[in-house]
Amino acid sequence: MQPRQRIDAYLQYMDGRGVARRNCAPPIWTALWSAGIFLPPPPFMGVPAMVTISALSGALLALVLWLVYGLIALLRPVTGSALTVAMLWWSALITAGLMAIGNPIYYRRMAREHGLATWSTFAGIRQRV
Q: Is 23 helix (H, G, I), strand (E, B) or coil?
A: helix
Asked whether the predicted pLDDT for residue 112 surpasses 60, the reply is: yes
Residues 57 and 111 sit within 8 Å (Cβ to Cβ) = no
Highest mean pLDDT among 28-32, 61-65, 105-109: 105-109
Residues 127 and 43 sit within 8 Å (Cβ to Cβ) = no
State if pTM tops 0.85. Answer: no
pLDDT bin (cut points 50, 70, 90) of residue 71 is confident
Q: For residue 21, what is the DSSP state?
A: H
Domain ranges for the chain, please list them: 3-113
